[in-house]
Structure 1
Amino acid sequence: MWTPKRFYKSALTGESSDGFTILLDGRPVKTPSGGLLAVPTRGLAQAIASEWDAQEEEIRPDTMPAQQLAVTAVDGVRANRETIIGEILAYAGTDLLCYRAAEPDDLVERQQAAWQPLLDWAEQKTGAQFLVTEGVIPVDQPPEVAAALGEVVTALDDFEIAALSSVTAATGSIVIALAMMDGRIDGAEAFAASQLDEDYQTGKWGEDDEAAARRNKLRHDILAAEKFLGLIRTSEKTTGSGERT
């Protein structure tokens, strides 16, 4: 697989009318579609610039999670917002937290203790009640569940939706992802909740290298999205005209 070589000496940040930018030897970074990569906060721009600066002889995109999520927001969500939202909301029908074990008792108890408080939180936040079932046979959630979740998701900006999409896919649960975004749980807790069944099986049977690598990747994606959210919510922002807020 071809890997691009590092072609720049410096990675700094700048400003434009669209937001904060990343400059490689003074030239702004663009997205794969050719648009300007402009982000809403200085902190996020600095984090992306640091990722570029940390590259050695070869550029490894897999070591640049903030860059990847920002590109997803600009090229992916902005151009296909309704499609991306639809993909996120589709998880409401297969949400991990709604599919429980019938046995053994200790696993049932673990799921109840870890998952039910998150469902209770989601029901309180949205006003919709989720159906919970045993086993893996799909259960149709009431229409008001998707409608209520849709109101929450559509209120997010493109960068928040990019992070939400990543965490939802990594956890298999829109409820876990929204709970993390809302501060109900942190990234480590989101990962632990999503891996409860796997942790139980690993405790009984052990874990192979492939499974461990997959879990590490999921943990990385969740924690990267958590950091990304922090950078877009707690740092200096610009308005669409470039004004600081």
Structure 2
Amino acid sequence: MRDHLEEALNHRDDGYGRVQRNLRPELPKRFYKEATALPADGGYTVALDNRPTLTPGNRTPVRVPSEDIAAIMAGEWGSQGERIDAETMPMVRLVNSAIESGETSIPALRAEVVKYAASDLLLYRAEHPQELVAEQEQHWDAALVRIARHFEVSFQPTVGILYQEQPATTLEKLDHSLEGAGLLEITALVSITSLTGSGILAIALRHDLLDADSVWNSAHVDEDFQARLWGVDEEAALRRRKRRTEFDAAVRLVEAMRR
């Protein structure tokens, strides 16, 4: 799935994409001097010149239960220059997205993680070359073994891209492993799942079965192999750095919600 997104990004400046880029609206000017994290209604908010922030879509007040997360968001607001670029504010965007989705979206978000796990990156292996096969086994087998033992489940990896159904009991237990995840945490887990192409890795991260770097490296086994084989593409490297920033923000949100 991530490969298809990469291909689309590779051609984002072709034809219509180039026209769309030129038609993008100008970034809004910064309208505040100071951004601060403040207590609010049993949690915390970010205030811009002492005015609490609202989500950009439905104008809902931004409240988070973690002072650390509020401080990160305030830092993102505070680091803006003359114009506000939302692309440089991953935590703000992630929290706003969660708040605007609302508590009723939790079941659907949880189902999205399990849906990825049912056709997970880690379960579809290369047939060749042998070097790639070995690297996939090294990184992915370790993750599968850890989560299989922890939740007493089994997986059915396959070679190639033809769909391989996973045991129903495995998916049920993976779904059960997400119980208790509130709106902010499950939104962050969906982001991690999307960025890595793996619900299994997101679940492993939530349960401390793998650390953030291990998850990230496992998600990029194929990409790293191709880079060593053909060299690093600068645009792809830039996109990867941006994705890592998004990933790190989501990881910090998951960690903060578990404290």
Aligned: 1:26 with 2:26: no
Q: Does 1:85 align with 2:110?
A: yes
* Matched residue, 1:219: 244
Question: Could you tell me the percent identity over the aligned residues?
Answer: 33
Aligned counterpart, 1:130? 155
1:175-194 → structure 2 map (5 Å cutoff)? 175-194=200-219
Alignment partners' CA distance in 2, 1:79 and 1:5: 34
Structure 2 contact 68–256 (Cα < 8 Å) conserved: yes
CA contact (8 A) 1:77 1:161 kept: no
Is residue 121 of structure 1 aligned with residue 151 of structure 2?
no
Cα deviation, 1:63-109, whole Å, max 9, x if unaligned, reads 11111111122112524222222222210222011111222222222
In the TM superposition, residue 18 of structure 1 has moved relative to its aligned partner by: 4.8
Aligned pairs for 1:158-237 within 5 A:
158-234=183-259
1:71 and 1:182 map into 2 onto residues whose CA distance is 25
Corresponding position: 1:104 with 2:129: yes
The offset of 1:233, in angstroms, is: 3.7
Give 1:218 deviation, angstroms: 2.4
Number of corresponding residues: 234
**Distance in 1 of aligned mates of 2:49 and 2:242:** 32
Q: How far off its partner does 1:25 sit? A: 1.3
1:139 is displaced (CA, Å) by 0.8
**Structure 2, unpaired ranges of 5+:** 1-24
| Secondary structure of 1:33 counterpart | coil
CA distance in 2, matches of 1:193, 1:92: 15
- Whether the aligned pair in 1 keeps the contact of 2:124 and 2:158 (CA below 8 Å) is yes
What is the CA deviation profile of residues 116-157 of structure 1, one whole-angstrom value per residue up to 9, with x for unaligned ones? 111111112222211110011111111112211111123211
Cα separation, 2, equivalents of 1:231 and 1:142: 32
Give the partner amino acid of 2:88.
Answer: T
**1:142 corresponds to which residue?**
167
State how far apart, in whole Å, the 1-side matches of 2:158 and 2:101 are.
34
Offset, 1:45:
0.9
- TM-score normalised by length of structure 1: 0.89
Distance in 1 separating the partners of 2:30 and 2:83: 5
Q: Deviations over 1:5-30 (max 9, x none)?
A: 11111211222225211111111111
Which whole-Å CA distance do the structure 2 matches of 1:82 and 1:157 have between them? 10
Q: Quick one: which of 61, 68, 85 aligns to 1:60?
A: 85
Q: How much has 1:170 moved relative to structure 2?
A: 0.6
Q: Following the alignment from structure 1 to structure 2, what is the Cα–Cα distance between the partners of residues 200 and 46?
A: 38
Counterpart of 1:221, as a letter, is E
Q: Which whole-Å CA distance do the structure 2 matches of 1:77 and 1:101 have between them?
A: 39
Give the unaligned 5+ runs of structure 1. Answer: 235-245
The aligned amino acid for 1:25 is D
Query: Is the 2:188–2:250 Cα contact (8 Å) retained in structure 1?
Result: yes
In structure 2, the CA distance between the partners of 1:92 and 1:77, relative to structure 1 (3 Å rule), is farther
